[in-house]
Structure 1
Amino acid sequence: MSKEEQHDDQPSQAEWMTDLIRLVNEPGYKRWRSMVAATGGCAHPVHLAGQSTIVDAGTGEVLHAYSTDAEPAGHLLVACGNRRASVCPACSQTYQADTFHLIRAGLTGGKGVPETVSAHPRAFVTLTAPSFGPVHSHRDGRPCRPRKHGRLCEHGRQVGCHLRHEPDDERLGQPICPDCYDYPGAVLWQAHAGALWHRFTLAIRQELANQTQMTRRAFAQHVKVSFAKVAEYQRRGLIHFHAIIRLDGPAGACEPPPDWADHHLLVQAIPPAVRQVTVTTPPSDLGRWDLTWGDQLDIRPILLDPSADGLSERAVASYIAKYATKGAEASGTIDHRLSCRACAGRGRLSLMAACGHCHGTGLKPGLSLDALPVTDHARRMIRTCWDLGARPEFKALRLRPWAHMLGFRGHFSSKSRAYSVNLTDLRNARAAHRAAEARERHGLPALGDATTLVLGHWRFAGIGYTPGEAIMAEHIRQRVQTARHIQAEREDG
């Protein structure tokens, strides 16, 4: 099987074993294992071909040369970097760890943020979606939706549910009556969730200014509002946002806010800011929706002493980092697009997975939406995205390319600039550390030394593994994960 091509047909056990035997008996097997281990056991590594040369800037002498010609198959393996655990467990763990440090730095300091930031007023806020129809819910042993027996909706279905659903019940999140459920409204809310969040960040600044009887401009001269947030899919297929909101001085995290800008002011300003946010959908013969946040709003202060009816800094950072690696698959849908750029470029964007360019669709050519391994509710959300996406008034929402995400196309995690260090800085620091280790191993000048130049030429040569390589890579990932857990336990101890 070629690394450059992905086939929908799964290889048989005999093919796996044959390929695995071939792999372990190849001369470059040990080197291949070391490259996979260096990626952490990445599930879909990128294959690069090329060379890199370090030369003396003054004399032109070659100090070190590397070429992939000597590597197994002539390729260097590089981690894919995908954040989603359903796509690549190894890379998602790295992303989760980076997100944890990013969030925690804005709570306790570190990574260039002063430790005094932990004394700033902070709150952990959860913003939810409104109801578009009753769905089955888990209520800690209580009936799902108790209603009078025999009461039917206009479609002839029971309007309630007297069952006591277990947490793993497949019916959780599914509508009581799919025909009563407002699918267009749900999809359009999902598509505008990013705009709702943006307007909330503006509204909270305005509300804080109102409560201190200042103009927004005057308030900004005394207090800066910083935030970090992550999106989480609920069982019903709609997202809600978990956010950290922090009050700083005008210079950001390095400066405390005035004494009057305290936890009480922050917590009091959030509810009215949430209530005043509205986004109206474009005009359509289907109607117009005034989209708002849901009634469920959770606000909890983040305190140095979590026993005082608050949350600990580490708990909040861990909670947000956990959801940074999850996607829409938690709500019963799929984690990949239903078509590819090659299809779209030729005007063939469709629900049919008949294109050889589409990667990892899980569908054989000619199978339609009905064959997708999704829940009935997710299937109707996807179909609604597809139908609304064909309307010119909703073209800007790009509902078809984001149908697999049930209409949501925003960032799963984001932060304001002043909150803390960003992911790029963390990744650059990790890359610099690895490069410095490599230079020290080869006896080369330190990274950044002006006496050397790095010359390189690289090209993309493929992605992924053969069946036998995939089995061995998963084994390597598990061993790397175990080693990391042991190391983390030692450091905590």
Structure 2
Amino acid sequence: MTVSTLTVVPEASASGTAPCAEPPAPPWYATSSDIRLQAAARLTQPDLPRWLRHVRPAAGCTRPVRLAGTMATVEAATGRLLSERSTADMPDGVIYKPCGNRRASVCPTCSKLYQRDAYQVVRAGLVGGKGVPEQVAHHPAVFPTFTAPSFGEVHTRYVKRHTCTRRTACDCRPEPCHARRDSAVCPHGVRLVCFARHENTDARLGTPLCLDCYDHDAQAVWNLSAGELWRRTTISINRYMHRLARARGIPDVPVTSPRTGKTRWVSPVRLSFGKAAEMQRRGVVHFHAIIRLDGRDPTDPDAIAPAPPQLDAADLVDAVDHAAATVGFTTADHPAHPGGWPIAWGEQVLTKVITVAGRGAVTDAQVAAYLAKYATKSTEVTGHASNRLTADSIDIYADPAGSHTERLIDACWMLGRPRDWRRLRRWAHMLGFGGHFLTKSRRYSVTFALLRNQRVVFRRAQSSGPEEAAAGTEPTTLVVNFLQFVGAGWHTTADALLANASAAMAREHQDSAREYLQTLVA
């Protein structure tokens, strides 16, 4: 049972629509394998406008969730039952709910909504808004990129000097991949040279020059340990800034715990983080992060205070570079590698200062868009995409003598045999990486849940009026849903086509309206 203050039941009828003039199609059209007959069965139904209105919340979803049950409307003050309705009286006998998947390769529509929310979450932590004070726009902030070390030479595309305006559509002439005067040969008899100037679409990018020389085991373990490495890195950056504050004579701040009432002296600075993980073509993650420098308010420990003026973004850059060069650890022993694997960042660490005014190396809008883009991606760039693997499906994707990704999956599965290393098998479909692709610290910005709740309030204002949906106004009725999962996806392929076509027309109308408003503002 779920309790909601916003009804999920679509309107029973669509006003202003004329009845369908076509004669109804035979019932067996709906069960036919011919898409044209399926479409005819749906289009000739007299309740077609009602069905389109019913599926509108999930019309653009690739695989919507189907829910069946009853919805009861009760009076909030007394609990008296006002009305009750069953999904059996609705079109198709179910309610369609968007799947909400963040991966663009699974559901483009739901992932687009997630990407827009991610953009707002990231940008609010840089310029304020949506509950974050606008003074954060004046806090020092940097945009570092942490990469993984090398596990073997791979085919790459390197442009010495870019002349293109957009890196996503770069057409600059790249340098030769691995041009060497001496014809180096590995122990397996493979020449470690490549004179090709790879294009962005070249399938060889990210693949090793010699598959047998490449350390697939170490890369799988590094992906698994990347989250712990990031945690230790944030601790190191915090400690570096604390030591720097003491060296510059900035006193510690007394903070009283509201729970225990005890006072302790803490660092006058505090860092807020936001991070997005990007899967490289070679199958290893690297992190794009936002690090913002905040101060502490002795009277309110949870407040976001301005940073001390003695510290600036250049100090943050030094702290990031120091942590990237020094932080590292060794994993626990493994039967296949008794000494454990060393885990550290690679040499390619680039840190840029974020500017809000639009000047400098990178702006807040560019950073927010960059991180939001990778929030909807996964392992697709490597050529592999699958759900969680099991003993029945592992042989389809893993091969110790196969391609680069097949060997990585096999390494995850084989190294995950011991009990303490089972997480490798759990995340074998992610090439060992088990973290979320977008994370943040608690005080950096707002949450996704807050943005979703704001959308609920907006829709409630559309359906019940702005007076009832206004802040501080309690709803007079509650909707209690007794719904259960009955399936996923559309009933027929024709239903999916019609629903997506309707959603595409709605998006086109919204885009046209947005462009018209922009022309008025300009």
Structure 1 length-normalised TM: 0.85
User: Match for residue 515 of structure 2?
Assistant: 489
Q: Does the aligned pair in 2 maintain the 1:300–1:311 contact within 8 Å?
A: yes
Change (3 A) 1:25 1:188: same
- Looking at structure 1, the residues matched to 188 and 32 of structure 2 have their Cα atoms a distance apart, in angstroms, of 48
Amino acid paired to 1:368: I
Instruction: Look up the SS of the partner of 2:509 in the other structure.
Output: helix
User: Match for residue 364 of structure 1?
Assistant: none
Q: Does the aligned pair in 1 maintain the 2:275–2:289 contact within 8 Å?
A: yes
Alignment of 1:132-147 (within 5 A): 132-140=151-159, 141-147=174-180
- Looking at structure 2, the residues matched to 164 and 450 of structure 1 have their Cα atoms a distance apart, in angstroms, of 64
- Looking at structure 1, the residues matched to 506 and 209 of structure 2 have their Cα atoms a distance apart, in angstroms, of 45
- Looking at structure 2, the residues matched to 319 and 413 of structure 1 have their Cα atoms a distance apart, in angstroms, of 12
User: Match for residue 193 of structure 2?
Assistant: 160
- Residue 424 (str. 1) matches residue 443 (str. 2): no
- Looking at structure 1, the residues matched to 62 and 43 of structure 2 have their Cα atoms a distance apart, in angstroms, of 18
- Residue 472 (str. 1) matches residue 490 (str. 2): no
Instruction: Look up the SS of the partner of 2:34 in the other structure.
Output: helix
User: Match for residue 462 of structure 1?
Assistant: 487
User: Match for residue 389 of structure 2?
Assistant: 338
- Looking at structure 1, the residues matched to 486 and 470 of structure 2 have their Cα atoms a distance apart, in angstroms, of 30
- Looking at structure 1, the residues matched to 335 and 73 of structure 2 have their Cα atoms a distance apart, in angstroms, of 64
Count of residues paired in the alignment: 452
User: Match for residue 323 of structure 1?
Assistant: 374
Alignment of 1:27-66 (within 5 A): 27-39=46-58, 41-57=60-76, 63=82, 65-66=84-85
- Looking at structure 2, the residues matched to 298 and 194 of structure 1 have their Cα atoms a distance apart, in angstroms, of 19
How far does residue 388 in structure 1 lie from its aligned partner after superposition? Answer: 0.8
Name whichever of 144-153 and 213-222 sits farther off.
213-222
How far does residue 253 in structure 1 lie from its aligned partner after superposition? Answer: 6.5
Instruction: Look up the SS of the partner of 1:459 in the other structure.
Output: strand
Change (3 A) 1:235 1:457: same
- Looking at structure 1, the residues matched to 285 and 293 of structure 2 have their Cα atoms a distance apart, in angstroms, of 26
User: Match for residue 380 of structure 1?
Assistant: 407
Instruction: Look up the SS of the partner of 1:170 in the other structure.
Output: coil
Q: Which runs of 4+ in 1 moved over 6 A?
A: 443-447
- Looking at structure 2, the residues matched to 188 and 212 of structure 1 have their Cα atoms a distance apart, in angstroms, of 36
Alignment of 1:25-424 (within 5 A): 25-39=44-58, 41-57=60-76, 63=82, 65-140=84-159, 141-213=174-246, 218=252, 220-251=266-297, 254-287=304-337, 288-307=340-359, 309-339=360-390, 349-351=391-393, 368-369=396-397, 376-395=403-422, 398-424=423-449
Q: Does the aligned pair in 2 maintain the 1:48–1:78 contact within 8 Å?
A: yes
Q: Does the aligned pair in 2 maintain the 1:247–1:257 contact within 8 Å?
A: yes
Q: Does the aligned pair in 2 maintain the 1:192–1:279 contact within 8 Å?
A: no
Name whichever of 186-195 and 460-469 sits farther off.
460-469
- Looking at structure 1, the residues matched to 218 and 186 of structure 2 have their Cα atoms a distance apart, in angstroms, of 19
How far does residue 451 in structure 1 lie from its aligned partner after superposition? Answer: 4.2
- Looking at structure 2, the residues matched to 433 and 389 of structure 1 have their Cα atoms a distance apart, in angstroms, of 47
Amino acid paired to 1:297: V
Instruction: Look up the SS of the partner of 1:125 in the other structure.
Output: strand
Change (3 A) 1:304 1:450: closer
- Looking at structure 1, the residues matched to 281 and 48 of structure 2 have their Cα atoms a distance apart, in angstroms, of 44
- Root-mean-square deviation (CA), in Å? 2.7
Amino acid paired to 1:205: N
Amino acid paired to 1:75: V
Q: Does the aligned pair in 2 maintain the 1:40–1:90 contact within 8 Å?
A: no
Structure 2 length-normalised TM: 0.80
Instruction: Look up the SS of the partner of 1:192 in the other structure.
Output: helix
Change (3 A) 1:186 1:248: same
Gaps of 5+ in 1: 1-11, 340-348, 353-366
- Looking at structure 2, the residues matched to 48 and 285 of structure 1 have their Cα atoms a distance apart, in angstroms, of 47
Alignment of 1:7-26 (within 5 A): 15-26=34-45
Q: Does the aligned pair in 2 maintain the 1:253–1:419 contact within 8 Å?
A: no
Structure richer in strand, relative to its length? 2
- Looking at structure 1, the residues matched to 219 and 483 of structure 2 have their Cα atoms a distance apart, in angstroms, of 45
- Looking at structure 1, the residues matched to 475 and 201 of structure 2 have their Cα atoms a distance apart, in angstroms, of 59
Instruction: Look up the SS of the partner of 1:368 in the other structure.
Output: helix
Change (3 A) 1:138 1:103: same
How far does residue 148 in structure 1 lie from its aligned partner after superposition? Answer: 2.9
